[in-house]
Amino acid sequence: MIVGFGHITYGQTYNNFETDSVTAPEPFKPSKTQFMIRGYGHTGLNFMNTEGEKESSYVGSAFAPIFLFKHSDRLMFEAELEFGLENNELEVGLEYADVMYILNKNMTVRAGKFLLPFGTFMERLHPAWINRLPTRPLGFGHDGIAPASGIGVELRGAFDLGGPKLNYAVYSTNGPRLKDGSVEPEEAGMLMFQNFEDNNNSKAFGGRIGLLPFADSSTEIGFSSYSTSKVGTTDSEYENVGVFLYAIDFAFIKQIPAISGFIDIKGQYNNSDIDDATYTEVHEDGDEEEYTFDNKSNSFYAQLSYRPTMASSDFMKKLELVGRYSNLNTPEGAEWEERSDQYAFSLNYWLTWRSVIKVAYQTTDSVGGHDGGGTANGFFIHWAIGF
Amino acid sequence: MKTIHKILVVAVVIFTTGGMIVGCSSTKNAYTAATDVQDEFKIEKSGAQMWGEACNRCHLAPSPADYNDTDWSTIALHMRVRANLAENEIAKIETFLKSAN
């Protein structure tokens, strides 16, 4: 003991903190070049009842990492991958991959595959942790009439008008290609927006103008259009089929003390007009029949949500009530003719600002469409997280 | 359809050209040379206020503490383009997030 304490006590008597050369730590110097992974994922349980046919399934975890590479204060590369489990298979998709450069305070140029500013839902609101419901409105996604992304070049920016704000985007992309029915006869006349290698020399042009008329930025009204003079393959009989699409979107988000919380209203109307063309239907006996139809479609959704953020209870503050109506009308006379109305309701609980549990009910009434129409009811419990 | 497409193409070209001229005409902020009197009466939103307004337009406003300063720089550049925010708006939001994390 004596030897031990003696050793400790006298062991370092030479150490003088006042005279020691202590190197001051250098302040942290972040580099201008930065790499970051963000993204989102979700999982859940679905119960479906389609015309009395019941099914339930845990739905696989969708994982969507977003890669951000900040090359400098003006230059950035961004990409999003999507991993999902569908039809017992792993599906991988490249949601977007583009390079962007800030030209000046009002202009940014983007090139590559980017989300199209056709309305606001697909560009801003579709990620699972942002979308207040576990499903998308009718008209978006698979077999939807609104484009989600495109390969091309875009110029965008925003102006502060001293209170009101104006934002714009104009772009040129490969544009969609027309399904002529040779592969999927039941989809003849539909547009396929995944046109990675252009099937003709005509490019699509489009844009969106958004106006936030009030100084509190609570309201935004947007108008989008998208057009191309050719969607058919070069030298095919459908080469000169043209397309004009437009969308009108609306948003109102504001905390209103009188109702002790946030009210969030969103809506979008999509309209698609494709030049008429003649398609061929092959009957079971081998006979061929030509047919045409007025190729016009439209869809609409309106969504209302309420969060009692000013409630006295912490539990209540994290709740959110959501209701959505959506509707889809596809051309009369087409093989994919459909009239659908959908109502969806959800009770959400926000664990954090980027993690939400959704308990939702949805009912869809359809006439026509892939499944032949009828009533489909669904109950969903989903958990989504952004990171 | 051809006519509509031509009109749209012309509109895109005019808009792009006009935007280029306006956007590139000056990179200076015209409001920086305000006089003392103007400064006294100028009412500007804080970064915190803009953070509450801009972020909530799509998703719940993020907690400043969830990322460090360098991460916020990257996220700010990403969100400026994704949400099409004005330069002064995102600059103030970024400053607020870095000061409050």
B63 vs A contacts (CB less than 8 Å): 352-353
Residue A141 included in any domain: yes
Mark yes or no for CB contact A68/B75 under 8 Å: yes
Q: Distance (Å, rounded) from C-alpha A32 to C-alpha A73?
A: 7
Give a yes or no: residue A70 inside a domain: no
What residues have CB less than 8 Å from B92, skipping those under 6 apart?
Answer: B45, B46, B47, B50
From chain B, pick out residues whose CB is under 8 angstroms from the CB of A100. Answer: 81
Provide ipTM, 2 decimals. Answer: 0.87
- Asked if B16 lies within 8 A of A386 by C-beta distance, the reply is no
- Residue B25, in any domain of the structure: no
Sequence-ordered list of residues with C-beta below 8 angstroms from that of A57, at least 6 positions apart, any chain: A45, A46
Query: In sequence order, what are the residues at sequence separation of 6 or more whose Cβ sits closer than 8 angstroms to the Cβ of residue A26?
Result: none
Q: For residue B63, tell me if it sits in a domain.
A: yes
Domain contains B72? yes
Percent of chain A with pLDDT over 90: 74
B2 domain residue, yes or no: no
Rounded to the nearest 10 degrees, the angle between the axes of helix B69-82 and helix B87-100 is 150
List beta partners, residue A289: A281
Buried b (16+ CB within 10 A) or exposed e, B77-96: bbbbbbbbbbbbbbbbbbbb
CB of A245 closer than 8 Å to CB of A223: no
- pLDDT tens sequence across B33-56: 555 665 566 667 899 999 999 999
Cβ separation A107–B19 shorter than 8 A:
yes
pLDDT bracket for residue A234 (50, 70, 90): confident
Give the distance, in angstroms, between the CA of residue A307 and the centroid of all CA atoms in the same chain. 22
For residue B87, the chain A residues in CB contact (below 8 A) are: 105-106, 158, 160
CB contact under 8 A, B83 and A124: yes
Do A330 and A145 contact (CB within 8 A), yes or no? Answer: yes
How many structural domains comprise chain A? 1
Report the pLDDT value the prediction gives residue A367, as an integer from 0 to 100. Answer: 92
Torsion of CA A109, A204, A83, A91, to 10 degrees: -160
B16 assigned to some structural domain: no
3-state per-residue secondary structure call for A78-93: EEEEEEEEECCEEEEE
Tokens at A96, concatenated? 């977007």
**Strand-pair partners of A246:** A225, A271
* Residue A228 counted as domain residue: yes
Q: Which of the residues B3, B6, B8, B13 would you substitute to probe the A interface, choosing the one with the greatest number of A C-beta atoms within 10 Å?
A: B8
Would residue B57 count as lying in a domain? yes
Strand partners, A168: A157, A209
- Give the mean pLDDT of chain A: 91
Task: Show the beta-strand stretches assigned E in chain A.
Answer: 34-50, 53-70, 75-86, 89-104, 107-115, 149-160, 165-173, 177-178, 191-192, 204-212, 219-228, 243-256, 261-274, 278-282, 288-292, 296-307, 319-329, 338-352, 355-368, 373-386
In this prediction, residue A19 carries a pLDDT of 53
Beta bridge partners of A123: none
**Is A356 within the bounds of a domain?**
yes
Confidence category of residue A177, pLDDT binned at 50, 70, 90 = very high
Query: What are A319-365's pLDDT values in tens digits?
Result: 999 999 999 999 999 999 999 999 999 999 999 999 999 999 999 99
Pairing of strands A204-212, A219-228: antiparallel
- Residue A9 banded pLDDT, cuts 50, 70, 90: low
Residues 18-77 of B with CB under 8 A from A: 19-20, 22-24, 27, 29, 50, 53-54, 56-63, 69-71, 73-75, 77
Residue B84 counted as domain residue:
yes
Segments forming the whole domain that contains residue B58 = 45-101
Tell me whether residue B78 is in a domain.
Answer: yes
**Higher pLDDT residue, A322 or B1?**
A322
pLDDT confidence of residue B1? 64
Mean pLDDT computed over B64-92? 95
Put simply, the answer to whether A169 touches B86 (Cβ < 8 Å) is no
Q: How far is CA A236 from CA A25, A90, A227, A240, B3, in A?
A: 70, 35, 20, 9, 22
Quickly list H helices, chain A.
2-11, 314-317
| A236 contacts A181 by C-beta, under 8 angstroms | no
Q: Which residue has the tokens 């005019």?
A: B14
Judging contacts by C-beta atoms under 8 Å, the chain B residues touching residue A239 are none
Inter-chain CB proximity A106 and B63 less than 8 Å = no
Highest mean pLDDT among A182-186, A264-268, B50-54, B69-73: A264-268
The pairing of beta strand A296-307 with beta strand A261-274: antiparallel
For residue A95, is it within any domain? no
Task: Note whether residue A143 is domain-resident.
Answer: yes
d(CA B5, CA A193): 18
Tens digit of pLDDT for each residue in A103-142? 999 999 999 999 999 999 999 999 999 999 999 999 998 7
Q: Give pLDDT, residue A158.
A: 96
- Residue predicted with more confidence, A244 or A373: A244
Q: What's the CA dihedral at A358, A148, A41, A156 to 10 degrees?
A: -110
Give CA–CA dist A222/A118, Å, rounded.
9
Residue A63, burial from CB neighbour count under 10 angstroms (0-12, 13-18, 19+) = middle
Residue A155 belongs to domain with CATH number: 2.40.160.10
Q: Which domain covers residue A135, as residue numbers?
A: 100-386
A277-286 tens-digit pLDDT? 999 888 878 7
How many domains, chain B?
1
More confident residue, A195 or B81: B81
Q: What is the reported pLDDT for A186?
A: 87
Rg (CA), chain B: 18
What confidence tens digit (pLDDT) does each residue in A52-102 have?
899 999 987 789 999 999 999 999 999 999 999 888 889 999 999 999 999
Q: Return the sign of the alpha-carbon dihedral for residues A186, A189, A191, A196.
A: positive
Distance, CA of A381 to CA of A379 (rounded, Å): 7
Report, as an integer, the average pLDDT of A249-257.
Answer: 96
Which residue did the predictor score with more confidence, B26 or A34? A34
How far CA A263 is from CA of A164, A171, A358, B56, B58, in Å, comes to: 20, 33, 18, 11, 12
Residue B29 has pLDDT above 80, yes or no: no
